[in-house]
């Protein structure tokens, strides 16, 4: 399966290096672009448009794609899928510790991207209003009850998604937790079967 990783706040595509290595060892092809500005200061819709451009130019001939978002990257991915018609070539969406319904931590940083991640933001309301755009796409979420970046932690859950609760002690450790990597491989293999 072809896998497109979408990084989180202030991250780069390099944040997926260990997970990417694990998935590639299992036979999957991975892509992990860096979207700028990395703090989303121009808005998460801006990053989603940059993601769409990357898919249309760099991955034009590569289908289908499974999208794996981490943290802020989950919202960027959702906007791409729901508002920019990305769902047409997506085989599945995996959200790892995403502030899918907002996070209290977003109030601690200025900028449009942080405002987009605040509870009941116009951005989040738009995603809720267009959630039907995810219909027909297998949805999977991963969350930890110990996440100090996604507050409340239940914000990482998504209606209609299969979910896996992981006891990772820190937000970034979700990307290296063995249960997340193994579950991703299992589900990606099922998509290819």
In the sheet that 65-70 helps form, which strands lie side by side, from edge to edge?
29-31, 2-6, 65-70, 90-96, 139-143, 162-165
With pLDDT > 90 as the criterion, what percentage of the chain qualifies?
Answer: 91
pTM of the entire predicted model: 0.97
Q: Which domains does the chain have, with CATH numbers?
A: 2-192 (3.40.50.1820)
For 26-68, the pLDDT digits (tens) are: 999 999 999 999 999 999 999 999 999 999 999 988 888 999 9
């Amino acid at each position: 399966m072809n896998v497109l990783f979408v990084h989180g706040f202030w991250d780069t595509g390099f944040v997926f290096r260990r997970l990417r290595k694990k998935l590639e060892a299992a036979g999957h092809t991975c892509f992990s672009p860096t979207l700028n500005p990395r703090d989303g200061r121009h808005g998460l819709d801006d990053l989603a448009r940059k993601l769409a451009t990357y898919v249309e130019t760099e991955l034009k001939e590569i289908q289908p794609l499974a999208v794996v978002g981490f943290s802020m990257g989950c919202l960027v991915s959702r906007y791409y899928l729901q508002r920019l018609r990305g769902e047409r070539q997506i085989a599945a969406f995996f959200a790892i510790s995403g502030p899918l319904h907002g996070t209290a931590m977003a109030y601690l940083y200025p900028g449009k991207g942080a405002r987009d991640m605040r509870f009941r933001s116009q951005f989040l309301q738009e995603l809720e209003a267009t959630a039907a755009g995810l219909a027909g796409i297998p949805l999977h979420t991963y969350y930890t009850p110990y996440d100090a970046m996604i507050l409340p932690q239940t914000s990482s859950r998504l209606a209609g998604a299969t979910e896996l609760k992981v006891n990772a002690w820190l937000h970034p450790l979700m990307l290296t937790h063995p249960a997340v990597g193994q579950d991703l491989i299992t589900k990606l293999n099922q998509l290819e079967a």
